Chain A
Amino acid sequence: MDFVEKIKPEHLDILKEVGNIGAGHAATALSRLLNKTIDMNVPAVKVVSFSEVHDLLGGNDAVVAAIFLKIEGDVPGNMFFMLPVNEASKLIQQLTGDTSIDFMDSSTSEIGISALTETGNILAGSYLSALSDFTSLQLLPTPPALAIDMPMAIISYGLIEISQAGDFAILIDTEINEIEVNDSTRTTGHFFLLPDPDSFEKLFKSLGVNVND
C-alpha cells in the first residue's frame, strides 16, 4: 500500500513539529547573522499530487532564489530554502555591505552568489542539525547548490526521486519573516523539506510513532 494512504492527521502533526524544530533553529541562526528579530509561522504540511504542486507554489512569474541540499544518511530527502529574488538581494546586501548586489543581474559578483549560497547553507544546516539532534537520526546534507529561477522548475527537481515511487509528495513548508519597524523590507523565506517516501517510517519511528498502527 502506498504510504500516503496510511498517513493520518496525527502523523501530519508530527511533521509539523519537525518543521517547527528545524525552522525555529534556522530562524535563530538568521537572527544572529542579521542581528534582527526573525519570526516564524506555524509550519504547513501538505500532501499534494504533482499536478497540484503548481497551485501550491503559485505565482508563475515569481522569481526565487533557492538553495538546495540533498539529504543523505538515515532519512534521505531534499531540502530547499527559497526566498523571492529581490529579498535575497537585500539580504546579501545587508550581510556584505555591498549594495550593488542584484541577483536578477546574471553578471552579479561571485562574492554575492557565494554569500547567498553560504547563508542558505547555514540556515538549512541549522534546520537539519536541530532535527538530527531531536530524532537522533543521522542527516547528512550535500554541499549546497544555488538556483535563481521559477519556483516550480526548482521544486520539481526535488520531486524526481519521489516521483519514481509514487504520485504524491509530502511537503513540510515553514515560513520565516524578518520583523522590521517599517514594514518595507520584510524578508520572507520558505523552508521546504521533502523526505523520500521510504524516510517517513524511519522519521516517525524515531519519534516513537508506529505508522502501521
Chain B
Amino acid sequence: MTNVIKVGMADLNYAIPPDKIRTSGLGSCVGIIIYDDTVKICGLAHIMLPDSSQCRSKAVQRSKYADTAIADLLSYLIKNGAKPSRLKAKIAGGAQMFKFSSTNEIMRIGPRNVEAVKKFLKENNIKILSEDVGGSSGRTIEFDPLTTILNIRTVNKGVKDI
C-alpha cells in the first residue's frame, strides 16, 4: 500500500518506499527534498524563510527556516542509514505570487528563499540535481523515493516531472 505522507507549511518529514511524500501550495516557500538513492530514503522540508538568524522570537521553529531545516534533514537522514556523500537534492518553489512595484525586501521573499536554500545546500556539499524555482505560480510537489522523480503540479502550467 502506497501512502502519501503530507508535509505542512513550516514542517518537515521523511519517507521510504513504497511511500511517497508531498507538500501542497508552495508559493514563495521552497520545498527541499534531500535523498539517498542507494538506501532509498528521503526527507522533505517546506520552508518559509531564508535564515533562522533573522528570527525575532526566542524559540526557533527549526523547520521554518532554510538553514535549520536543511541541518535537521541531514542529521535525520544520516542517522537513518544515508551516506553524506550520496545525498542529493531537488528543490521547487520560491515563486513571486503577486507583482508589486514595491522593492520592499519582504516582497522578494521567494527569490531570497531560493538563494538561501542553494547557499546552505552548497555549504553542506549537496548537489542539486534538478530544480523548478521562481516564476509566479504556486506548486504542489510529490517525491517518490523509489524512482527519485519529483512530480510538480501548477495551476496554469500543468504537470511535469523533474
Name the residue in B9, B26, B61, B156 with the highest tally of chain A Cβ atoms < 10 Å from its Cβ: B9
Interface mask (B133-162 → A, CB under 8 Å = 1, otherwise 0): 000111110000000000000011000000
Query: In the docked arrangement, what's the CA distance between A192 and B11, Å?
Result: 23
Q: Does A106 contact B (CB under 8 A)?
A: yes
> Would A164 and B55 be within 8 Å (CB), given that A50-B64, A51-B9 are in contact?
yes
Task: Tell me the count of chain B residues lying within 8 A, CB to CB, of chain A.
Answer: 34
Contact B57 A165 (CB under 8 A): yes
Contact B97 A142 (CB under 8 A): no
> Would A152 and B9 be within 8 Å (CB), given that A60-B25, A160-B106, A167-B57 are in contact?
yes
Contact B8 A51 (CB under 8 A): yes
Among B102, B106, B136, B155, the residue within 8 A (CB) of A150 is B155
Q: Does A53 contact B (CB under 8 A)?
A: yes
Q: Does A134 contact B (CB under 8 A)?
A: no
Contact A147 B98 (CB under 8 A): yes
Complex contacts, B26 vs chain A, CB 8 Å: 152-153, 156
Residue of A nearest to B109 (CB): A160
Total CB contacts across the A-B interface at under 8 A: 104
Contact A149 B97 (CB under 8 A): yes
Query: In the docked arrangement, what's the CA distance between A2 and B27, Å?
Result: 26
Residue of B nearest to A1 (CB): B58
Interface size class of A (residues with CB under 8 A): 20 to 34
Interface residues of B (CB under 8 A from A): 6, 8-11, 24-29, 48-49, 54-57, 61, 64, 95, 97-100, 102, 106, 109, 136-140, 155-156
**Given contacts A50-B64, A148-B155, A151-B25, could you give 4 more A-B pairs where the C-beta distance is less than 8 Å?**
A50-B10, A142-B102, A152-B26, A156-B26
17 contacts between A and B (CB under 8 A): A51-B8, A63-B155, A149-B27, A149-B138, A152-B9, A152-B26, A152-B27, A153-B95, A153-B139, A154-B138, A156-B29, A157-B109, A160-B109, A163-B10, A163-B48, A163-B64, A167-B64
